[in-house]
Amino acid sequence: MSREKTLEILREATPAILPSLLLCDFGNLEREIEKLHEAGFKSLHLDVMDGVFVPNFSYGITIVEAVRKLTDMPLDVHLMMVEPQKYVQQFASAGADLITFHAEAVDDTRPVLEAIRETGIAGGIALNPGTDVSMIENDLDLCDVFLVMSVNAGFGGQSFIESVLEKFSHIRNAPNGDRILLEIDGGINTDTIGQAHAMGVDLFVAGSAIFRQPDYRAAHDRLLEQVGASNERV
């Protein structure tokens, strides 16, 4: 899928909940993706962990390829790994529609953003909770998405770090910030999603709040209800 088409779909879907497949049943991957599609989700989030940048190891290119064969939904591939620039083309060829990588994992974010742009897909930068936004301000012109981790990267089921929400207003008010999709990942549930939406977040990555619920559609709808409640409060 082209960069323009991916961004069009994501913008039309906002506020959008993106299921993190890290917690899905990989023994029944096709059925899981069918259930997510039927539940109303518009995009899927895949966390790639290398066991080096983060203290956990997940899946890689072959799973992205497998998911791509099962759905036309945009695939948001989050690289939590060292030297992501070495694998940009491979993940794009595997079917990623959007690649985000961590600023903390590279010496210079701009060449990686340029490499992603050259593949024709969308790209963005991710930041860990303790990283200052000033680290990536000069490269926002090449960012389609700005992803903030609201837990420390590496494991699911952690508690939400509310202080990271300040990063979003900083980006939104920066040059080129008004066109960037804002994404949050970590601890998103019915108690936290409203706070994030109130700060202007567009895309909400959720794992436990979906996959540990018996009904994916009900989980999706409950999360969006809290987004609506935050609109009413504002």
What Cα–Cα distance (Å) separates residue 54 from each residue in 38, 48, 118?
Answer: 33, 10, 27
H or E, element range at 127: strand 122-127
Take residue 62 and report the two structure tokens written for it.
């072959």
> Is residue 47 annotated as a catalytic residue, yes or no?
yes
Q: If we measure between CA atoms, which residue out of 201, 226, 172, 208 comes closest to residue 15? A: 201
Catalytic hit among 97, 144, 185, 202: 185
Q: If you search the block for the tokens 């992803």, which residue do you land on?
A: 147
Q: For residue 87, what is the DSSP state?
A: T
Active site residue 185: yes
Backbone angles phi, psi at 72, to 5 degrees: -100, -5
- Helical H segments across the chain, by residue range: 3-13, 29-38, 61-70, 88-94, 109-119, 166-172, 193-198, 208-211, 216-233
Question: Torsions phi, psi of 124, nearest 5?
Answer: -160, 175
Strand, helix or coil for residue 58: coil
**Catalytic one of 47, 76, 139, 202:** 47
**Letter string b/e over residues 123-144, b meaning 16 or more CB atoms within 10 A of that residue's CB:** bbbbbbeebebeebeebbebbb
What is the rounded distance in angstroms from the CA atom of residue 174 to the CA atom of residue 171?
A: 5
Residues carrying an active site annotation: 47, 185
